[in-house]
Amino acid sequence: MMHNRRVVLIVVAVTVILLAVVLFFGGMLFNRSRGGFGTGSMMGGGMMGSGSMMGGSTTSNGPAISNDQLQQLVKQGEVGATINKAANTVIYTGTNVNLVALASPHGVPNMTWEIDGLVNPTITIPAGAMVNVTLVNPDWGYMHGFEVTTTPPPYSQMPMMSVNNDFMLPPLPQRTTQSLGTAQYYSRTGSMSLSTGTYYYLCPVPGHAQQGMFGVLKIL
């Protein structure tokens, strides 16, 4: 019994520490090179500023975005994309791709991604393309981040400790108010260019990918 309690306490302590680290480095983009690179910025907090990140990149804070601005971002992401609802796939073309990832928005199952109107779609991007990723968190009650990895599912409770990290946009807080009529949304942007292969996009917050918040990303 004592052993089980110690295990539970250790797991809770590790979770708290990891979340504290994520919050501390909330303005940073962590990226380990696997044939790709990334830069990131954050919109949120209502105060302008800038700071240093690993790799010499910088971040900046700005106001949260409105629902109208969110819809504009979604439309930008659909440009140059072939969206197949039946197959649940999105195929992008061109050398510059805008990927807009909505974290658990209302109207879709909880702990899922919505990209170009699809839930956890399989995404295909041309090799060599520069991918401009925008993470938006319209969810209420949960933080969400965006990570790309070569590590396939299933994922553990603590994916940050068990997956390869090829690209990451650190977690964002929930929308500003519970009411959708007055809510604004925090977003974060970054760029990546990955080598040919099969990747997976997921939410790195503990338990989210384990509950199904992931999808397939192919670079062809």
Q: What is the pLDDT of residues 14-66, one digit of tens each?
A: 454 455 444 434 433 333 333 343 444 444 433 222 223 332 233 334 468 99
Average pLDDT, the chain: 79
Cα→Cα distances 198→48, 148, 201, Å = 37, 10, 10
Peptide bond into 159 cis (omega under 30): no
What residues are paired with 90 via a beta bridge? 83, 123
Q: Which of 20, 55, 22, 59 is nearest to 40 (CA)?
A: 59
pLDDT of residue 26: 42
Q: Which of 44, 6, 5, 22 is nearest to 146 (CA)?
A: 22
- Is 65:43 a contact under the CB 8 Å cutoff? yes
Cα→Cα distances 204→54, 143, 156, 178, 220, Å = 19, 10, 10, 23, 25
pLDDT of residue 5: 53
Contacts of 72 (CB under 8 A, 6+ apart): none
Q: Which of 215, 204, 115 is nearest to 167 (CA)?
A: 204
Domain ranges in the chain are: 27-219
| CATH superfamily label, 27-219 | Cupredoxins -  blue copper proteins (2.60.40.420)
pLDDT of residue 3: 52
Whether residue 194 has pLDDT greater than 50: yes
Burial of 173 (0-12, 13-18, 19+ CB in 10 A): middle
Residue ranges of E strands in 160-204: 167-172, 186-192, 197-202
Whether residue 105 has pLDDT greater than 80: yes
- Taking only the tens place, the pLDDT of each residue in 132-181 is 999 999 999 999 999 999 999 999 999 988 899 999 999 999 999 999 88
Q: Which of 175, 174, 156 is nearest to 214 (CA)?
A: 156
Handedness of CA 163, 202, 69, 141 (dihedral sign): negative
